[in-house]
Amino acid sequence: MPDVNQAAQLLVGGLAAGTLYALVALGIVLLYRASRVLNFAHGDLATAATFVAFTLMAGGWGFPLASAAALAAAGMFAAGVYLVVLRPAREATLLGRIVVTLGLALVLNGLTTAVWGAETKVFPFPLSDTRVYRLGGVVVSQLSLGLMGAGLVLVAALYLVVQHTRAGLAMRAVAQHMEAAQALGIPARRILAFTWGLAGALGAAAGILTAPATLLDPAMMLDPFLKGFAGAVLGGMDSLPGAVLGGLCLGVLEALFAGYVSVKFKTTFAFLVIVLTLMLRPEGLLGREVRRRA
């Protein structure tokens, strides 16, 4: 009979990891809904923003102010990428736009390595991974609780922006039908730039929350990005709630798989999820089924 405490411990750990995957997945889905672009530079931009926060804190800035500045810088950079790079290439094929974002990822990774070096660094964080709390038979670190709480706040903030602001209404209109939105007077170019900026800030937040749980280095977001992408596919590439659900489900399934099956294949489990999802339900858990007429 499975140990209930062990299962609960794995569940908590999976939810903490799944929160980070959900934040990455939200940024990926936000851009895909708005501009049908899979941004493979999402993780590298998050890494660069985290290094910016690290540098500001090393210069004497407090964690909240340094993090806010890094999020703002990532948002402005992502909006600039859309206006300067992606918008002129809007007539390119889907593969061509993917190659553009891949090239941008390589450039960002190279610049990050050149500026900050390839050696790992410890990211200062106000919460401790060694201070723990006992909830029954489950041990939860202060850091894990903080990550889950911060993730919940960010998801709620995004929901409020998308569902209860004029900018969010314009974002939904542009994502639904850009030409019709423009005919109604919505400035689609500015709205898309705003969407890219919002996704960039979300990615930066995911990077800042990931860094304390790992060591800070130029490749630290590779694994979270791949897991976030898998979560987006699992939840549905056109569904923001699906991105959250997919990220959380992936984190929990991954933790249970590592705990009861094999730790060795934990990293490849996300790719198995992608393959199974595309085989059994290509639109994802909460995605809309697309029907085409012959």
Structure tokens at 243: 């991105």
Answer whether residue 72 is part of any domain: yes
Q: Return mean pLDDT, the chain.
A: 88
Q: How far apart are CA 208 and CA 127, in angstroms?
A: 12
Q: In degrees rounded to 5, what are phi and psi of residue 17?
A: -65, -40
Domain that holds residue 49: 4-280
With cut-offs at 50, 70 and 90, classify the pLDDT of residue 262. Answer: confident
Answer whether residue 285 is part of any domain: no
pLDDT in tens, 126-156: 888 778 888 777 888 888 899 899 999 999 9
Structural domain total, the chain: 1
pLDDT in tens, 185-214: 889 899 999 999 999 999 999 999 999 888
User: Which CATH number belongs to the domain containing residue 38 in this structure?
Assistant: 1.10.3470
Answer whether residue 93 is part of any domain: yes
Answer whether residue 197 is part of any domain: yes
Answer whether residue 288 is part of any domain: no
Helix (H) or strand (E) holding 138: strand 138-141
How far is CA 238 from each of CA 20, 198, 228, 241, rounded to the nearest angstrom?
Answer: 19, 16, 14, 9
Answer whether residue 32 is part of any domain: yes
- Cβ-contact 264, 54 below 8 angstroms: no
